[in-house]
Structure 1
Amino acid sequence: MQDFFGFIDYKRKNFPVNRDEYKIIYQEECYHFNIFFSYRSNQNSVHLNNLDIFLFLVGKISNQAELEILLNCENKMFSTITLIEIAYNKWGLKFIEKIEGSFVIIIYDKQSKKLLLIKDKIGKIPLNYYHSNDKIIFASSLQNFKKVSTFIPSINPRSLASYLQHGSILQPNTILNECYKIKSGHYRDFNLIEKKSKEEAYWKLEESYLAPRINASESTIINNADKLIQKSIEKSYIKDTKIALSLSGGYDSSTIAFFLQEKSTQKINTFTIGFNKKDINEAIDAKAIAKHIGTSHHEHYFTGEDALKIVPKLCKIYDEPFAEYAATPTVLIAQLIQQDNIHDIFVGDGGDEVFATADDTEFFQRIHSIPHKIRENITLPFKKFPMEKIPYLGKMYNFPTKYTKLLQILSSKNIPKTIEARNILFREEELHHLIQNYTTPIRTTFDEIDFRGNQETVDEIIGTYFKTSMTDGELVKSYNAMNRYNISLQTPFLDEELIAYMATIPSSIKIKDNIKKYILKEIAHQYIPKSLLARPKSGFDIPFSEWMRRELKELVYAQINEKRLNEDKLFYTSSIINIRDNFYQGNDSYKYKLWRIFIFQLWYENFKG
């Protein structure tokens, strides 16, 4: 389990730490501050400490051989952490641009008295921080912040509103006041003498799409992408070890499964979660794919009883409230893999974003063909009109929300804000009636994405989803579930070289003749019969509504009741109770809102301890 914690105390006071739980790897008392660093022992963390530097690495550097060549260190058998020290001494902070992989790097430069918190380009491994005049806290988990007795955590109402809208907490925010995430492709530089810090970006996905378009034949592009996928898998593949793969039977996981089995000298283990509802069950198709490839296949049909066992654990597995419905079967897969004593799992996360599943491209193009100022002026009078007061329509459930969405979509300044508007769950007015002390929307990734208006529409769509629902949704879902059970997560579609290559391919080939993920599908058809893959996608529609009505009902009421809500003083009790009661009176339209509130309440109860 990758879990670390550091603390800088300007008041130079000691504080307790459980030495049985965490290993202290660095302590120093300076004239200006005390510094402390510890971690929960695991095989994916290494550190280095000498007179000049303390350096901590969690995760993996995937281009170590290339780094050795750049540093003239071939055949010297240096460890990864030593290579990072040499790179830092030679290039300074520019060294970050030359390394690839999934990692967090923490550097304490003893000479300059600087602390550097660095996150890789994709941002798989979490890294949070708090900075005030008297202390700095940094850790993989917000729970660890509570180890500092002088830190008093409190919920940020604006972050809570953002969670209710998106189902997760988007970068750079956390659910807590004055606590933040280090963003993907960024580092934060703390000057410990001056008590100042600054954030710097060393990589931005948007810039990948600015590279010149590839001018090559379709067959060449497909062949190159094929090689890059296999190369990416090779970087993470460890020979003669037990390997697991989460297999849905779709193109993403099936392609990875085929290449893994081709490389392996033994059968790889594929895992599928099925459901007893035919319209959402992909287990039958996944089983057929596994049989064709020749894997050792495992399937489990998820039931309400499974939900009752797993849902209460979500608050311990996910560091922040996380309402992605697919988290429950993902946790179950992690449990099954752990039971089989497997420590590595490959997943297809990022396949939709890298290979382009872009819905409604023409819709986005039509909207943004009209200048923003004109669209904004057209919608302005409608925004001032209280639609709730219109007879009949104003009382129809969800009409005000749909109306508000439409106005936000029409007046959105760019594609990222259009996508955000399409996916909101609550109206702004609702949030003011639900959350105490809520003021205005908090700034998130949606506000910071900048395509400069030069990219193709498809790239802006998939790029936006990559930086939001993939990075802070899909990847959070997979990483936290696997990390909890000491399983290393491998994401071959999120390889930097593959991402950069796919970003330069014209959208006319990414989506050809209305076929989404055209390149990946053409690759897959070379190895797996099209008849096994080409079928209508059933989706992963988790029956959480049925769970809340049956197996989870008692738990929902235990979390959402007047006594509990009044004690917490976060929500306006009557508004939350209204959502709960409407759902249990048979109005299924409230299920999404109730689920997000329920998951938050579970998480908050655990966080309070």
Structure 2
Amino acid sequence: MAGLCGWFAVNAASPAGALEAQGQALPGLSGAPDAQCTNRLGGCRVRGGWIAQDADVIAAITGHPQWRDPALARRAREHDPAQALLEAWRQHGTGLFEQVGGDYALAIVDSGHGRLVAGIDRLGQTPLHFAHLDGGVAFGTSAGCVAAHPAVATEVTREGLYHYCFFHMLPAPVSLFSGLEKLPGAHRLTHNGDRAEVSRYWRPRFEEDSAATPEALEHALHEHAQAAVERRADTPRPGAFLSGGLDSSTVAGMLAGMHPGADSFSIGFDAPGYDEMEYARIASRHFGTQAHEYYVTPEDVVDAVPRIAGSYDEPFGNSSALPAYFCARMAADAGITRLLAGDGGDELFAGNARYAKQGVFEHWGRIPAPLRHHLLDPLFTRLPRGLPLAGKARSYVEQARIPLPDRLQTYNYLHRLAPETMFAPEFLAAVDSEAPWELMRGIYAQPQSASSLNRMMYLDWQQTLADNDLRKVTGMCQLAGVDVAFPMLDDDLVEFSCRVPSDLKLKKGRLRHFYKEAFTGFLPDAIIDKKKHGFGLPFGVWMQEHAPLRELAYDSLLRLKGRNFLRDDFIDELIRLHREGHAAYYGDFVWILMMLDLWLESHPAARLA
């Protein structure tokens, strides 16, 4: 699978020079590398990508890059993307990021000028980890290849564990490991021999086009989506994930229009409220795809989850990784060379329920401040919680008083369960419990002149997409051995989405209003009208009914007692709440902690700093 790993150092006595003497630029990519290059200041290894060297310059790139300059695009076709990258570096220097799009991670090691430039795509579809060295930097698309450098510490940090428990993954720039960082989307890393610097090279411009008619915008959306699928279907045998939702159905339908009878892959669950196979079948019949289906069982979870947990280079707590893995495995077994996934549409066109919910809370802020502070606040916050209407009114006001983006986390376990009841006192005293909140607030504040809806979606570009959903899908496709691409995150489509007015994206509480109007007639009515469901795993429910699954989960929780960062009584209480309380709700957090334990078990070298 695709990967990039390298090092750069000006100081010949640095650990990077020692690696060169050992004859191996950083390990960490499975199997023999497709290409490798070294010069006097640095080296790169690339697997599933391209690498080129000219005089004192190494250029390496991986992913699915797209070139905006026609001459560079032609060079990539006639030679390879690394040759185009070399030419872009000669012509544009660090301005090359304006010429390359798609999903990628790239690195330029320029010995002639003693300089490194590395970076990733606008949406962070391909990750890049890095660590500072004495006089240089190690970098790579996996934490493992960077952590393998002998000068990089591999201790697990308290901050990393706390962020994982807060977000259920590790959001950029945070890493689990001491000394490691991650590039956020649209950022580059440069090193000129003196120091490393991270900077942003692109920022979206949310300039809503109120002059364009909805019909014109809907037509443009069709054209952009079609072009995006065409670009990513350029592979011998493409296939598509098909959950039966808006985005996967759109991508599968457009793929089937280009390749009649294209393969689609769907997962079901024999559990009430979780199975969406009916909608996947509706879409498959409508577009004439060759449907492949699999029903995940509790036995599958017991068998696969330790392998899934250990496959990630940092702990990862999204339970829908498991169905994604079985989908990808079906595709690999069917000979698919690349799967097209529908991720991204909700974050571009307002498809998450929390967006509509926050719009309701925003009404509170429009009430004159004196009236709110002196009359309504004291009145509503004293209402009894036990009475249905009074309790709802009090809850509304309590949530409305929390500013965005903090209000988005009112569902968070660390919001509902006080951190001091969860973490050991000495652990909690050593972490900055405000850090996750500050990270979130910083991202939310970055867009200029953006609506609150667009700010929420922009925040989700990083933390819901780049650090969560995309890591889920790419990680599971890599484990299964199949390539994956995301047409909905095409650069042109993303830029177009920034022009669509917010009140069209989300109209009178209707999620995805603009998108649904645009694809009415293309998508089946049943899919247009269905309520948003998601790709969740009925883990908490199954765990109540399936003894081996329950044993796997509870054993993991009990092992965490010996790791000295969670309170023992919290673990006991979580088990009790799952058994006696809401199985699905508390089952999600059991999953998150189980995946952390299984990851730690599969990475015995990872120790708390």
- Other structure's SS at 2:476 match: helix
Report the CA distance between 1:150 and its aligned residue.
Answer: 3.9
Instruction: Indicate conservation of the 8 Å contact 2:265/2:291, yes or no.
Output: yes
The amino acid that maps onto 1:198 is E
Unaligned regions of 5+ residues in structure 2, if any?
none
1:418 aligns with 2:420: no
SS of residue matched to 1:152:
coil
- The aligned residue for residue 45 of structure 2 is 38
Residue 297 of structure 1: aligned partner: 291
Bigger drift between 435-444 and 92-101 goes to: 435-444
Would you say the 8 A contact 1:372–1:411 is kept in 2? no
**How high is the TM-score relative to the length of structure 2?**
0.85
Equivalent residue of 2:405, what SS?
helix
Residues 153, 179 of structure 2: 8 Å contact kept: no
Secondary structure in structure 2 of the residue aligned to 1:501: helix
User: Which 10-residue stretch deviates more, 19-28 or 95-104?
Assistant: 19-28
Query: How big is the shift at 1:36?
Result: 3.8
What is the alpha-carbon distance in structure 2 between the residues aligned to residue 464 and residue 380 of structure 1?
29
User: Deviation of residue 468 (structure 1)?
Assistant: 1.8
Match of 1:356 among 350, 355, 358: 350
**Partner amino acid, structure 2, of 1:576:** I
User: Shift of the alpha carbon at 1:508?
Assistant: 2.4
AA at the equivalent of 1:204: R
1:376 & 1:115 partners in 2: Cα distance?
54
Structure 2 vs 1, CA of residues 367 and 440 (structure 1 numbering), >3 Å: closer, same or farther? farther
Which amino acid letter does the alignment assign opposite residue 37 of structure 1?
Answer: C
- Identify which of 232, 253, 273 aligns with 1:236: 232
Distance between the aligned counterparts of 2:70 and 2:278, measured in 1? 47
Kindly provide the CA deviation profile for residues 196-245 of structure 1, in whole angstroms up to 9, marking residues without a partner as x: 1111101123xx21x25241222111111111110111111226x32221
Letter in 2 for 1:320: E
1:366 Cα deviation from its structure 2 partner: 2.3
- Tell me which amino acid in the other structure corresponds to 2:173: P
The answer for the alignment partner of 1:6 in structure 2 is: 6
What is the alpha-carbon distance in structure 2 between the residues aligned to residue 558 and residue 74 of structure 1? Answer: 55
2:155 matches 1:154: yes
Alignment partner of 2:571 out of 552, 564, 576: 576
Query: 1:241-252 counterparts in 2 under 5 A?
Result: 241-252=236-247
What is the 5 A alignment of 1:250-289?
250-264=245-259, 266-289=260-283
* Residues paired across the two proteins, number: 575
Asked if the contact 1:117/1:182 (under 8 Å) is kept, the reply is: no
**Equivalent residue letter for 1:410:** R
Q: 1:464 to 1:423 in 2, by over 3 A?
A: farther
Which of 37, 48, 57 is the aligned partner of 1:26?
37
1:342 aligns with 2:309: no
Identify the range of structure 1 (121-130 vs 436-445) with the bigger mean alpha-carbon deviation: 436-445
Asked if the contact 1:445/1:467 (under 8 Å) is kept, the reply is: no
Shift of 1:542: 1.9
Q: Distance in 1 between matches of 2:243 and 2:274?
A: 11
Are 1:138 and 1:145, in contact at CA under 8 Å, matched by a contact in 2? yes
- Percentage identity across aligned positions? 21
**Change in 2 beyond 3 A, CA 1:373/1:163:** farther
User: CA 1:366 to 1:380, structure 2 compared with 1: closer, same or farther past 3 Å?
Assistant: closer
Would you say 1:225 and 2:221 are equivalent positions? yes
Deviations 1:297-335 (A, max 9, x none): 011111101111221112233222111121110011111
Aligned counterparts of 2:600 and 2:374: Cα–Cα separation in 1: 42
Aligned to 2:57: 53
**Is the 1:321–1:603 Cα contact (8 Å) retained in structure 2?**
yes
The answer to whether the 8 Å contact 2:156/2:176 transfers is yes
Query: TM-score under structure 1 normalisation?
Result: 0.85
Q: Secondary structure at 1:103's aligned position in 2?
A: strand
- 1: CA distance between counterparts of 2:469 and 2:397? 26
After superposition, where does 1:194-205 map in structure 2 within 5 Å?
194=194, 196-205=195-204
Tell me the distance in 2 between the aligned counterparts of 1:81 and 1:430.
48
Q: Equivalent of 2:531, from 515, 532, 536? A: 536
Q: 1:546 to 1:428 in 2, by over 3 A?
A: closer
Within-5 A mapping of 1:510-529: 510-529=505-524
In structure 2, C-alpha distance between the alignment counterparts of 1:408 and 1:144, rounded to whole Å: 43
Q: Which runs of 5+ in 1 are unaligned?
A: 394-398
Structure 1 residues 157, 409: CA separation in 2 closer, same or farther (over 3 Å shift)? Answer: farther
1:73 offset after TM fit, Å?
6.7
Counterpart CA distance in 1 for 2:117 and 2:531 is 48
